[in-house]
């Protein structure tokens, strides 16, 4: 026996039914849509306009004696944020990640607040700062309703952080320079000792040679000396000389290129003020308002129709 379905119990919903519902409830659709649209547009136009101050920072490029520093002083090499030539991408990403974390820290935000005379709360300051780490540089953007405050905060962030890192690097730089001088003195003494050892070896060699030479009777023997040392000793002298001149180059670089070791934070773009509410954002907000009002109208129509039936 077949079970028959009573179609009268079910309302078939199709496009024609939906159109009829909207015709029947068109006033509800229009009024609800207009209310939502007006509210959305009011929010769009009445909320205070935000201004952005944008800047870009990165880590300065490497310099000539960077790899030698890595060879002789690996800890100071890393602490000075010098980037390895064979690992530029990863080193730069790691250092930029450190910068991003530093700029977001509570201690740093307190310094910024003090610099701008606490004209904004720490919570609002944290919300106002947007940091974008691209892997090669950092885009720093500060959003506030006051363009001058946005600029002031952005400027304060760069100045405080650059100064802070300069002081940190200066301590490392001073210790490094002292280590280089100490190691250079040892290398110079070692080279002097090896040179004296080579001289003694040379004299001893020719002294023994002269003793073993048999002079023919009634003949004059002409003899000239050169500089002869063992291959092992020569290798030690070459190694010591190389170390001395490399350390001398590092010392010269530290003295002559001091700013390169201390000013590791490079400002690619100084802070500038931009109007955040560009036309593209305005059109987007109006479009979203229209879409929201239509959806709200549809929802209201179906809710009213459901309860009326």
147, containing H or E segment: helix 147-212
Read off the pLDDT of residues 121-172 as tens digits, 9 standing for 90 and up. Answer: 999 999 999 999 998 899 999 998 888 999 999 999 999 999 999 999 999 9
Whether 241 is covered by a domain: the verdict is yes
Per-residue confidence band for 174, with pLDDT thresholds at 50, 70 and 90: very high
Task: Identify whether the C-beta of residue 63 lies closer than 8 Å to the C-beta of residue 260.
Answer: yes
Of 111-120, 232-241, 297-306, the poorest mean pLDDT is in 297-306
Is 85 inside a domain boundary? yes
For residue 244 the two structure tokens come to 């001395």
Confirm whether 196 is domain-assigned. Answer: yes
**In this structure, are 70 and 198 located in the same domain?**
yes
Give 239's contacts (C-beta < 8 A, 6+ positions apart). Answer: none
CA of residue 227 relative to chain centroid, distance: 55
Q: Which of 29-38, 150-159, 208-217, 252-261 has the highest mean pLDDT?
A: 150-159
Q: What per-residue confidence (pLDDT) applies to 96?
A: 93
Instruction: Report pLDDT for 279.
Output: 42
Asked if 36 and 64 sit in the same domain, the reply is no
Q: Poorest-confidence range of 21-30, 113-122, 224-233, 252-261?
A: 224-233
- Residue 116's alpha-carbon distances to 49, 110, 123, 129, 153, in angstroms, are 21, 10, 15, 14, 7
Confidence category of residue 1, pLDDT binned at 50, 70, 90: very low
Nearby residues of 85 by Cβ (< 8 Å), 6 or more positions away: 62, 66, 67
- pLDDT of 124 reads 93
Same domain? 195 vs 250: yes
Domain shared by 90 and 198, yes or no: yes
Q: Which residues contact 66 (CB under 8 A, 6 or more apart)?
A: 77, 82, 83, 84, 85
My answer on whether 27 and 80 are in the same domain is: no
Rg of the chain over all Cα atoms, to the nearest angstrom? 39
Say if 244 falls within a structural domain.
yes
36 in the same domain as 182? no
What pLDDT score does 67 carry?
82
Pair (162, 262) in one structural domain = yes
Identify the pLDDT of residue 218: 53
- Is the predicted pLDDT of residue 248 greater than 70, yes or no? yes
Work out the burial of residue 203: count CB atoms within 10 Å of its CB; fewer than 13 is exposed, 13-18 middle, 19 or more buried: exposed
Is residue 4 one of the residues assigned to a domain? no
Please indicate, yes or no, if residue 230 is contained in any of the structural domains. yes
Question: Average pLDDT in the 26-34 region?
Answer: 82
Quick one: pLDDT at residue 188? 92
Q: Among 49-63, 190-204, 225-239, which range has the highest average pLDDT?
A: 49-63
Same-domain status, 34 and 164: no
- Same domain (yes/no): 35, 170: no
* Portion of the chain with pLDDT greater than 90, in percent: 43
Claim to verify: residue 79 and residue 176 sit in the same structural domain = yes
Q: What is the mean pLDDT of residues 220-225?
A: 48
Strands (DSSP E) contained in the chain are: 51-59, 129-133, 138-144, 265-275
In a domain, 217, yes or no: no
Range in 14-28, 130-144, 261-275 with the lowest mean pLDDT: 14-28
Residues 45 and 120 in one domain: no
Assigned token pair, 261: 């070791």
Please give the pLDDT value at position 72. 93
Q: Is the dihedral of CA 62, 63, 68, 73 positive or negative?
A: negative
Instruction: Report the pLDDT averaged over residues 286-290.
Output: 83
pLDDT band of residue 10 (cuts 50, 70, 90) is very low
Give the per-residue pLDDT at 262. 92
What is the sign, positive or negative, of the torsion defined by CA atoms of 155, 161, 164, 167?
Answer: negative
Using 50, 70 and 90 to split pLDDT, how confident is the model at 2?
very low
Count of structural domains, the chain:
2
Give the mean model confidence (pLDDT) for residues 57-73: 84
User: Is 104 a domain residue?
Assistant: yes
Residue 261 and residue 237 in one domain: yes
Q: Maximum Cα–Cα distance for the chain, whole Å?
A: 148
The C-alpha atoms of residue 227 and residue 282 are separated, in whole angstroms, by 85
Structure confidence by residue, pLDDT tens digits, 84-132? 777 778 888 899 999 999 999 999 999 999 999 999 999 999 999 999 9
For residue 294, the enclosing domain spans 16-49+277-309
């Amino acid at each position: 026996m077949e079970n028959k379905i009573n179609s009268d119990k079910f309302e078939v919903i199709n496009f024609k039914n939906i159109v009829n519902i909207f015709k029947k409830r068109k006033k509800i659709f229009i009024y609800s849509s207009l209310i939502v649209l007006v509210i959305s547009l009011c929010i769009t136009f009445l909320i205070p306009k935000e201004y952005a101050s944008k800047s870009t920072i990165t880590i300065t490029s490497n310099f000539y004696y960077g790899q030698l520093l890595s060879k002789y002083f690996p800890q100071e090499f890393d602490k000075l944020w010098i980037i390895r030539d064979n690992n530029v991408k990863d080193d730069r990403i790691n250092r930029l990640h450190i910068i991003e974390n530093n700029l977001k820290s509570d201690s740093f935000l307190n310094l910024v607040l003090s610099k701008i005379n606490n004209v904004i709360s720490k919570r609002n300051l944290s919300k106002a700062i947007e940091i974008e780490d691209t892997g090669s540089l950092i885009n720093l953007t500060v959003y506030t309703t006051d363009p001058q405050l946005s600029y002031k905060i952005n400027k304060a962030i760069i100045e405080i952080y650059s100064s802070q890192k300069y002081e940190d690097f200066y301590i490392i730089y001073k210790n490094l320079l002292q280590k280089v001088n100490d190691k250079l003195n040892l290398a110079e003494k070692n080279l002097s000792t090896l040179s004296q050892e080579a001289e003694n070896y040379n004299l001893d060699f020719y002294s023994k040679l002269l003793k073993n030479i048999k002079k023919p009777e009634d003949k004059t023997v002409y003899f000239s000396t050169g500089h002869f040392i063992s291959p092992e000793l020569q290798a030690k002298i070459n190694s010591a000389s190389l170390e001395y001149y490399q350390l001398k180059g590092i010392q010269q670089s530290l003295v002559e290129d001091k700013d390169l070791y201390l000013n590791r934070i490079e400002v690619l773009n100084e802070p500038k003020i931009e109007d955040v509410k560009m036309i593209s954002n305005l059109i987007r907000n109006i479009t979203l308002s229209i879409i929201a009002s239509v959806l709200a109208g549809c929802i209201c129509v179906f809710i009213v129709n459901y309860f009326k039936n």
